[in-house]
Structure 1
Amino acid sequence: MIRRNIALCIIFTLITCGIYGIYWFICLTNETNEAADEPDTSGIAAYLLVLITCGIYGLYWAYRRGEKLDLAKQKRGLISSNSGVLYLLLYLFGGIITYALIQHELNQLD
C-alpha cells in the first residue's frame, strides 16, 4: 500500500478535472482488497461498473470499502466500527469525501 497525502490527492483531482480521482478510486479499491487480504472486484472493474450503472454501483462500492477496512483492522487487532454505513452516506454527498476518509484509514493501517 502506498501512503498518499490526502490534501494533494484532492488538489490533483480538482486540477485534472477528476481524472486523478479515477486513478485514486482504482487505487483505493485495490489497496482495500489488499489490506483485508481478500480478493474482490479489481479497481478497474469497479470503476467500469460505476460507469455502467450510472453511479449506483458506487454506493455498494463505498459500503464494501468500509467492510473491507473493518476486516483489515480486525486482522491487525485494532478496534473497528461499522464504517460501511458512514462511507455509504458520505458517498451520497460527494465521493471525494469518502475517498479522503478511506485513504486516511489506509494510511493508518500502513
Structure 2
Amino acid sequence: MYKNQVRSPGLVVVLSIVTCGIYAFYWIYKMSEELQRATGKSSTSPGVELLLCIVTCGFYLIYWYYKYGKMITEAQELAGLRSEDNAILYLLLAVFGLSIVSMALMQSAANKIWEQNVI
C-alpha cells in the first residue's frame, strides 16, 4: 500500500518561492496524484492536470484549487475526519493572487488526512 507524503506547509511555500514556482508545479502533480488515489477518482491524470495549468497560463489552476479543495473534503470524510469544505476559499485566494496561501492550507488539510493512515 502506498503511503501519501506528509509535507510541511511552510516548506511547501518556501520551496515554491525559492525555486520561482517550479516546486509548485511538482506539488500540484503530487497533490493531484495523492488525492486521486485517496478518493478513488482519476478522471484526469496528474500529468494532464499539470499541463492544463501551464497551457492555460494559470486559468485552469484557479479551477484546480476548487476541484481539489472538494476532493480534500471527500478524503476527509473517507478518513473519518470532520470535513471542512474550503474549496471556495482556495478558489478566491487563487483569484486574488494568493495561491501560495491555498497551497499551505491544502497541504495542512492533506497532512491531517495522511496522518490518519486509513486511506
- The alignment's TM-score, normalised by the length of structure 1, stands at 0.89
Counterpart of 1:95 in structure 2 is 99
Task: Identify the structure with the greater helix proportion.
Answer: 1
TM superposition shift of 1:63: 0.8
> In angstroms, what is the RMSD of aligned CA positions?
1.4
TM superposition shift of 1:37: 2.1
C-alpha contact 1:28 1:102 (8 A) present in aligned 2: no
TM superposition shift of 1:3: 0.6
2:12 maps to a residue whose letter is C
Among candidates 6, 10, 14, match of residue 7 of structure 1: 10
Following TM superposition, the consecutive aligned residue runs of length 4 or more in structure 1 with deviations greater than 4 angstroms are none
TM superposition shift of 1:84: 1.4
Counterpart of 1:104 in structure 2 is 108
TM superposition shift of 1:77: 2.3
- The alignment's TM-score, normalised by the length of structure 2, stands at 0.83
Between the aligned partners of 2:46 and 2:63, the Cα distance in structure 1 is 14
- Spell out the pairing of 1:21-100 with structure 2 (5 A cutoff): 21-93=24-96, 94-100=98-104
